[in-house]
A and B are shown apart, each in its own frame.
Chain A
Amino acid sequence: MPNEAEADSRSPVTEPVEPPVSIRREWCKACGICIEFCPKKVFDADEEGHPIIARPEECSSCQICEQLCPDFAVSVRRKRRAPKS
């Protein structure tokens, strides 16, 4: 969830949009799989190895991270029509 202060500081031209991908940190075990295999390199690791959504605008909603996360900690909102999973 983007916090409001952050959203307000953004340029007025780009609508503040919630990134399609979100992480449930309390289930994440910092295995690094999503960080390694995201084809768009959306994530960086924090000091503890948990993913941070560093480049949300790059996310193509491919759902590779969601399907590869062994801990069901990643979810990706689909873009319009559901692609064949």
Chain B
Amino acid sequence: MVAPEDGSGRTDVLSYLRVDRFPHLWCPGCGHGIVLGALVRAIMRLELDPRRVVVVSGIGCAARAAGYLNFDGVHTTHGRAIAFASGIKLARPELEVIVITGDGDLAAIGGNHFVHACRRNMGITVVCFNNSIYGMTSGQYSPMTPYHAMATTAPYGHIERPFDLCALAAGCGATYVARGAAYFPARLADYIAGGLRHKGFAFIEAVTQCPTYFGRRNKMPRGVDLLRWQKERAVPVERAARMTPEELEGKFTVGVFRDAEELEYTEEYDRIIALAGYREGGESGCPAPGR
């Protein structure tokens, strides 16, 4: 059983992880381990009952994080984690359902699931490990690859603009939206904890690094270089509000963008079941689920 503290005074992050599978498969300097650590610290801080936590992921280097977490979970197909997670939440609304996804998994193949999940406001927490690239398949550009950055499939520089994932989520109706970065792991854990506490759909973008396929092609070959890049480019949202678009050029904002209370989907769904007159064993106009 998971114990948040091991009694030695050391915070026992490792008790939440399947350390028998360590060292993990991520490359030297890959930021995914840092984001995973922040997620574990957020779960620890909230003292979530591990038996009530379910982790769902798709495919990609980021998605592999689910396999290192000592919770029940599902490692699903590429882009579909949110769809599986929605099913789990709908069947068992009392569970804490966490989706771990990459920027390709979420915003490319899984984009449609993402926008509609935001719109529905179902109480799941989605953490996107955004490393600006498809890491697992060796560096093709993703919808989050910066304009003019190099990628395997953009050898002369990328000509598309990336999404602002947080603006997208908020625009589609997500009720908790935040962005952090691997370089600021404590604040990232704060944002994730905020999302886990939140009742509706929570989206947390974690800016992280792929030194192997993004960094090397973009003159930042080491994890250290990319973390320094994050340190220099991150602007807290409060400060960004006082800056001009020119000053914000090439920067990214961090902080909580939205934290609103609105009707949560599974509660709405329960209301509809009641409205339809379903009563256990009663003379309802509606058949009992599963019959």
Contact = CB atoms under 8 A, between A and B. Distances in A.
Interface residues of A, number: 21
Contacts of A72: 13-14, 17, 19, 22, 33, 37
Contacts of B26: 70-71
B64 interface: no
Interface string B8-37: 111101100101001110111111111001
Nearest to B9: A78
A60 interface: no
| Chain A at the B interface: SS class | loop
B64 to A, nearest CB: 13
A41 to B, nearest CB: 14
Contacts of B32: 70
Interface residues of B, number: 33
A68 B185 contact: yes
A8 B32 CA distance: 41
Contact of A78 (B10, B13, B182, B222): B10
Interface string B28-62: 11111110011001000100000000000000000
B29 A29 contact: yes
Contact of A71 (B10, B11, B13, B23): B23
A26 interface: yes
B186 interface: yes
Contact of B33 (A26, A71, A77): A71
B223 interface: yes
Contacts of A32: 29, 222-224
B186 A67 contact: yes
B227 interface: yes
Nearest to A73: B23
B189 interface: yes
Interface in A17-66: 26-27, 29-33, 36-37
Question: Would you list the 3 A-B pairs with minimal beta carbon distance, nearest first?
Answer: A70-B33, A31-B29, A29-B28
Interface of A: 26-27, 29-33, 36-37, 67-72, 75-78, 82, 85
Given A29-B28, A32-B222, A78-B9, 9 more contacts: A26-B23, A29-B27, A37-B224, A67-B186, A68-B183, A70-B34, A71-B22, A72-B33, A78-B11
